[in-house]
Structure 1
Amino acid sequence: MRQAALSHSEWAANACDLALVTGQRREDVSLFRFSDIRDGRLFVTQGKTGHKLAISLNLRLDAAGLFLQDVIERCRVNNPSNFMLYSSIRRGGRKPGPLFPDGLTQAFSDLRDSSGLRFGPNPPSFHEIRSLAGRLYEVEYGEEFAQRLPGHKNSAMTKKYLDARSAEYVMV
């Protein structure tokens, strides 16, 4: 799939890598901005839950050979926008600009279908990258880290967040 992404477009490979190294939802990945980077961290407020994360730019996913900082730097190449995922290509009436979640889904579907890989009746979606990230991070960093990165909470963690009134970012 990664090789198919490289042949599709710069942004498709970057989108897959951002999703994998950050473990975030497509809606959040599509909204990542360079201006969200401060003090060596990518600050994310998840759209679905409002959960706030501050992800270190030094985050590394060894299984994929990815550093968050490197992926972000690749997103800057040929990108005049503040959005990390930007396309200058006009297709089907689309204007150049940031990518939308449905665009990520469609591109991933196209990549999946062109990859030559065979899937059953329920092929993976872009969201499966988030699940894969969780599984890989659990092996490399442990269960607690793999739970914090995507913003999942258990009862003990929920109490911590409630104490902070959800106003503080969780350092990852």
Structure 2
Amino acid sequence: MDAFRAVATGRTLLAFELLLGSGQRIGDVLKMKWSDLEDGGLNVKQGKTGKPLWVPLTAQLHAALDATPKRSVFILTNEAATGPWSYRGAAQAIRKIRAQIGALDYDNHALRYTAAVELLNAGADDDVIAAVPGQSTAMVRHYTRSARQKVRALKAREIRT
């Protein structure tokens, strides 16, 4: 994540921060509009589930949004500012940075996992984690399985010492 942030600029960095900060799928991120911003968060209607969510902005996402000029109703706009950035264009731009930093093994969807793991590592319970990506608690447990084992092992170390 640090390597991506060090290299990416403009709307590619904003796309990354929207994916990570909101925990949403790329298709939903590309549909986000400036009018979706409300009370320090984003109103999202998930395309796959139809579920409406309000997702709070992370500090990094807030900074990226503040640094972005409003050229269209869409947050991630195409070059002509006439509509949203295309799925293919956004995916290719992000992939280019991933190739540059040696992170091709991590696709856009991995940022949904990362958002959940960040919340887990911060001490959030499954219901709190689920509120951000709009997932069931069962899916949260699936996304955080590996990280959860490490959290528990660290807790075990604390108990043993």
Fold agreement, TM-score > 0.5: yes
In the aligned structure 2, how far is the partner of 1:35 from the partner of 1:51? 18
Cα-to-partner distance string for 1:38-79 (whole Å, 9 max, x where unaligned) = 34431100001101101234xx3xxxxx3443332223x2x4
In the aligned structure 2, how far is the partner of 1:25 from the partner of 1:10? 20
1:101 corresponds to 2:87: yes
Counterpart of 1:11?
11
1:69 corresponds to 2:55: no
Aligned length: 136
Q: Normalization by structure 2: what TM-score?
A: 0.71
Structure 2 counterpart of 1:152, which letter? Q
CA RMSD of aligned residues (A): 2.5
Structure with greater strand share of residues: 1
Residue segments in structure 2 that go unaligned for 5+ positions in a row:
139-161
Shift of 1:8: 5.0
Shift of 1:6: 5.7
Assess, with a 3 A threshold, how the Cα gap between structure 1 residues 125 and 74 changes in structure 2: closer, same or farther: same
Identity %: 26
Structure with greater helix share of residues: 2
Instruction: Report the 3-state secondary structure (helix = DSSP H, G, I; strand = E; otherwise coil) of the residue aligned with 2:21.
Output: helix
Moved over 6 A (4+): none
Assess, with a 3 A threshold, how the Cα gap between structure 1 residues 21 and 154 changes in structure 2: closer, same or farther: closer
Q: Normalization by structure 1: what TM-score?
A: 0.67
Counterpart of 1:92?
none
In the aligned structure 1, how far is the partner of 2:137 from the partner of 2:112? 18
Instruction: Report the 3-state secondary structure (helix = DSSP H, G, I; strand = E; otherwise coil) of the residue aligned with 1:86.
Output: coil
Q: Residues 41 and 54 of structure 1 are in contact (CA less than 8 Å); yes or no, is this contact kept in structure 2?
A: yes
In the aligned structure 2, how far is the partner of 1:49 from the partner of 1:99? 22
Shift of 1:142: 3.0
Q: Residues 34 and 82 of structure 1 are in contact (CA less than 8 Å); yes or no, is this contact kept in structure 2?
A: yes
In the aligned structure 2, how far is the partner of 1:2 from the partner of 1:136? 14
Counterpart of 2:158?
none
Structure 1 counterpart of 2:66, which letter? E
In the aligned structure 2, how far is the partner of 1:48 from the partner of 1:13? 24
Instruction: Report the 3-state secondary structure (helix = DSSP H, G, I; strand = E; otherwise coil) of the residue aligned with 2:67.
Output: helix
Shift of 1:144: 2.0
Structure 2 counterpart of 1:72, which letter? L
Counterpart of 2:100?
114
Structure 2 counterpart of 1:52, which letter? P
